[in-house]
């Protein structure tokens, strides 16, 4: 039986108009500290649009969700330059099946959905089936589809993480007339959703000082 994967999804806000001046502290005193506490770096994403220039998204994987939110909050609020830390625990639905970090350079779009809890299973199944033609038709890869463990409202929360080689590929993927089966299922998913939004980001890759993976 495959062990359950747990991820912490954090949005960090720094002082000033950019997170770059705090890069060294974030890695050496933040990400490294989480590694000591049992958190394995999954990914760091910097803003392109939809996220402020002084914000980052950081995901870490854990063996258990117990106490993780507090660990992440305390670790980063203790750092100079960190204004706020918003984080919650998520679990994968159908992807990913391992905690191997994504590594492709390009555009990563974080889609957020809120919907009635009774509609989660249908939304996941619609998505999983639609991806068969979506990924075959477009330059795109679904990295993960995550379910928030304890949402802040009565609605369920899902987060879809998609990869595209560039902005043009993302724009091309919106022409779902080329993938009618996927379009039908995505339309139904839209009908089920109470709220949706998207944030475009860049993965801070292996060559990035910040995202160098802690062994």
Phi-psi region of 81 (alpha: psi -120 to 50; beta: other; left: phi over 0): left
Considering the segment(s) 6-93 as one domain, its CATH architecture is 2-Layer Sandwich (3.30)
How confident is the model over 118-159, as pLDDT tens digits?
999 999 999 999 999 999 999 999 999 999 998 888 999 999
Domain ranges in the chain? 6-93, 107-202
- Tell me if the pTM is above 0.85: yes
How confident is the model over 42-66, as pLDDT tens digits?
999 999 999 999 999 999 999 999 9
Q: Is residue 161 scored above 90 in pLDDT?
A: yes
The fold for domain 107-202 equals Alpha-Beta Plaits (3.30.70)
Q: Is residue 209 scored above 90 in pLDDT?
A: no
Q: Where are the alpha helices (DSSP H) in 85-174?
A: 120-137, 167-173
Is-cis flag, bond preceding 96, omega within 30? Answer: yes
CB 193 within 8 A of CB 115: yes
Q: Do domains 6-93 and 107-202 have the same CATH topology?
A: yes
């Amino acid at each position: 039986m495959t062990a359950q994967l747990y991820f912490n999804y954090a949005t960090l806000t720094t002082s000033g108009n950019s997170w770059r001046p705090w890069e060294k502290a974030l890695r050496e005193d933040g990400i490294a500290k989480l590694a000591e506490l049992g958190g394995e770096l999954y990914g760091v994403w910097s803003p392109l649009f939809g996220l402020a220039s002084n914000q980052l998204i950081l995901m870490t994987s854990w063996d258990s969700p117990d106490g993780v939110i507090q660990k992440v909050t305390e670790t980063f609020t203790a750092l100079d330059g960190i204004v706020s830390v918003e984080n919650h625990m998520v679990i994968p639905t159908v992807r990913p099946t391992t905690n191997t970090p994504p590594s492709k350079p390009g555009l990563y779009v974080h889609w957020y959905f809120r919907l009635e809890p009774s509609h989660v299973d249908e939304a996941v199944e619609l998505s999983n089936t639609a991806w068969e033609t979506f990924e075959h038709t477009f330059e795109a890869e679904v990295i993960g589809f995550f379910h928030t463990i304890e949402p802040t409202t009565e609605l369920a929360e899902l987060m879809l993480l998609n990869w595209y080689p560039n902005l043009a590929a993302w724009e091309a993927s919106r022409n779902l007339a080329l993938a009618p089966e996927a379009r039908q299922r995505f339309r139904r998913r839209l009908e089920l959703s109470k709220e949706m939004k998207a944030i475009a980001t860049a993965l801070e890759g292996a060559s990035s000082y910040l995202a160098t993976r802690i062994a």
